[in-house]
Structure 1
């Protein structure tokens, strides 16, 4: 293994260790000693990569943002219909929040009053939603009278609210919950000509890791709006 590869492995281990601690204890309570110990390196090795804890937090949020942007690119690259891409992206985000501690920590850091970094995962998510809603409007896929800003607000309030609830009960952000949300919302916001082509349960194949237990909406997984 080269020196550069060892350095990259150490940095990634530090980011992952920090993410676990930020998610579990918050930014303020996580210490640099705990972060370095969790990565199996010395405090000096940590400072070789990061000058302070804020820089570590910035690296966690940046890594989370990269994961989100990859998911957004995957969702948008295979669909002509931007509304379906938005549905799929919400399911992909749920899967990331269940499987990736860095993404969970990134969202938690983005609303931490004690920290201000150059990256905010909530703002990054909002931009993804805004872009897809604007594209849906250009495609004439939105129902008449549906305001883009109101649709963005509804999607943001629901998804970020579920993310917060999911911290204490992972079942809140299940595939069923998101499917139920879209079953309720799509008939209201989608144009009739587009509605029959939309699948509220998502069209991706990577959502199996998200819990399927019954949720407040408890819809049928394969049901489509009419």
Structure 2
């Protein structure tokens, strides 16, 4: 590959990344249905022709935003916890990490919001991916004896997914729902009902890290 070709590829990659970021900001602010490709291209500093060179339609651009958002979600959920971290503490920590990421990352916020867009089919359902991660983590917690005997892991999945997706939806308009204090209060309420009494004192509702 020639140096000129490499420069062109790098420029095209930067343009594509800029379009994805700009689209995410507009989708996040105005919603998919209202969002204008002209506004997106203007925010990215490129022409409409350049936008259509990379993305054939607004739906294709939304798919790219969700794909990038999925990568960012996986960066939060797949972070390796410190040795000896319980599964429940990992769940607490990751919910804090997700809330923090949603507060600051327009691409991640837009990716989640696009999952609820009724006017288009979603190829990358971030809410479903999040639910699957929560299910797997609580399944491991149950297998390792962290949950109270009378607590069904699936019931906890329902509560955690409903609450965290609710924080995500409400946080799109009021960042307080995604604050560390909101997530901490949720876990302070839930943990004593969820885990064995001997484990409650060892857990930190405010989180031990931000993945």
| C-alpha distance 120-46 of structure 1, shift in aligned 2 (>3 A) | same
**Aligned CA-pair RMSD:** 1.6
Distance in 2 between the 1:155 and 1:136 partners? 14
Q: Would the aligned equivalents of 2:97 and 2:210 in 1 still touch at CA under 8 Å?
A: no
Question: Are the structure 2 counterparts of residues 121 and 189 from structure 1 closer, same or farther at C-alpha, using a change threshold of 3 Å?
Answer: same
**Equivalent residue, structure 1, for 2:158:** 153
Gaps of 5+ in 1: 207-226
Determine if contact 2:19/2:51 at 8 Å carries over to the other structure.
yes
Map of 2:186 onto structure 1:
181
2:75 to 54, 59, 70: 70
What TM-score results when the alignment is normalised by the length of structure 2?
0.92
Deviation at residue 75 of structure 1 after TM alignment:
5.3
8 Å contact from structure 1 (residues 75, 89) kept in 2: no
SS at the partner of 2:206? Answer: coil
For residue 206 of structure 2, the aligned residue among 201, 204, 213 is 201
TM-score normalised according to structure 1 size: 0.86
Higher relative contact order (CA 8 A, sep 6+): 2
Cα distance in 2 for partners of 1:60, 1:155 equals: 25
Report how far residue 117 of structure 1 moved.
2.0
CA distance in structure 2 between the aligned counterparts of 1:117 and 1:166, rounded to whole angstroms = 21
Structure 2 residues not aligned, in runs of 5+: 1-5
Render the CA deviation track for 1:144-165: whole Å, top value 9, x for unaligned.
Answer: 1211111011001111111122
Q: Separation in 1 of the partners of 2:161 and 2:83?
A: 23
How many residues are matched?
206
